[in-house]
Structure 1
Amino acid sequence: MITKETEHKNYIFQSDRLGFRDWLPSDIEIMSEINADPKVMEFFPAIQSKQETLEFIERMQNQLKAKGFCYFAVDKLDTKEFIGFIGLSEQNFESDFTPCIDIGWRIRVEDWNNGYATEGAKRCLEYAFHDLKIKKINSIAPLINVRSEAVMKKIGMHKIKNFLHPRLHDTPRLQECVLYEIHQNQNQN
């Protein structure tokens, strides 16, 4: 649960321009706005409500406590401004490659095209492989989400296959997804 006592920004790790941390009460409103932006949520079945955002943040906090990782809240270090999330999360939908650890990102539109997703994802891979000793990371996106697939390639991931996502069967335009993968011993670009 998000409490006021956690309302300070202690970074778990940093990249050149970004700080990665646990979630704070002050993130709820901004993350709700990000999740309600049709442009950000273009490749999801629907925008998310404030309640859904709050439930997501609580899941991430619980996962961080239990596993040492989550989709981290991310700030720009120069301004301390919260811009969205980049990080790792467990995926357990029904598939031949799950359960797996997924790397993902969701950043507010005004911070797109600055290389934050790529920089942040590279740093999260480093944290996963070197600090947490995770052996393999996957990334999943709808086939039509070419921007996310470009980030997957930039961070050194390799395409494994296309698949039909079981949780997207009611959204045909999104159901065909790509699966990318990177292993601990692979060189990152």
Structure 2
Amino acid sequence: MDNYCFTSTRLGFRNWLPGDITAMAAINANPEVMRYFPATQDREQTAAFIDRMQKLYAARGFCYFAVETLAEKEWIGFIGLAWQEYDAPFTPCVDMGWRLKPEAWGKGYATEGAKRCLHFAFNDLGLQQVIATAPLVNRKSIRVMEQIGMKPLLQFKHPALLAHPELELCVAYSIGPA
């Protein structure tokens, strides 16, 4: 039986399970996946992330959802929403993010999933705005933001990336209900 919170055409979105730690840890340990982050993450950091997502889901009804393909029931990573409170002109806010394993890249999953999460954010949760951020050098994520209709809000230096000059300059995009 599927335990999806919702689905899109090809994807199922669900809360995290303990069995997801190994697969997510493999993604977080991949230098290519994590090239726009300060470092890769180990299993312990991944478990803490999943725990944080489970708590966020319990508290607010959303998180960066674990995502599977519907046809193959293959776990591919996460796409979803998170509450952010770091020091920036647009926080606190609901942020959208995604991280997929390389085998899932180039298939339109991030765009499809992000569109479905926006529908969930505005129609189910009643949110008035969703933000997405990325280092300015991460053109692929910025392209997804543009494809789903988000508009540039501002450039900023991300407080968590100040020790990483190649990543610290970020862009924030925003979107509200249609």
Report what 1:108 is aligned to.
101
How many residues end up aligned between the 2 structures?
178
Residue 11 (structure 2) pairs with residue 18 (structure 1): yes
Matched, 1:55 2:55: no
User: Are the counterparts in 1 of residues 88 and 156 from structure 2 also a CA contact under 8 Å?
Assistant: no
Q: Helix, strand or coil for the counterpart of 1:173?
A: coil
The runs of 5 or more residues in structure 1 that have no matched partner are 1-7
Offset, 1:24: 1.1
Deviations 1:58-108 (A, max 9, x none): 000000011010000000000111100000001111111100110000000
Corresponding residue number in structure 1 for 2:136: 143
- Paired position in structure 2 for 1:34: 27
Give the root-mean-square deviation of aligned CA atoms: 0.8
Aligned to 1:54, the other structure's residue is in SS state helix
Q: Distance in 1 between matches of 2:22 and 2:74?
A: 13
Q: CA deviation at 1:9?
A: 4.1
Corresponding residue number in structure 1 for 2:118: 125
- Out of 175, 180, 188, the position equivalent to 2:168 is 175
The offset of 1:167, in angstroms, is: 1.0
Identity %: 53
Q: Which amino acid aligns with 2:165?
A: P
Counterpart of 1:88 (choices 66, 73, 81) is 81
Given the two structures, how large is their TM-score scaled by the length of structure 2?
0.98
Aligned mates of 1:88, 1:21 — CA distance in 2: 12
Query: Is the 8 Å Cα contact of residues 135 and 170 (structure 2) preserved in structure 1?
Result: yes
Q: Distance between the aligned counterparts of 2:154 and 2:90, measured in 1?
A: 11
2:70 is aligned to 77
Partner AA of 1:42 in structure 2: R
Cα distance in 2 for partners of 1:9, 1:91 equals 29
Quick one: structure 1 residues 37 and 30, their matched pair in 2 at CA, closer, same or farther if it must change by over 3 Å?
same
Q: Relative to 1, partners in 2 of residues 1:32 and 1:9: Cα closer, same or farther, differing over 3 Å?
A: farther
| 1:125 CA drift (Å) | 0.2
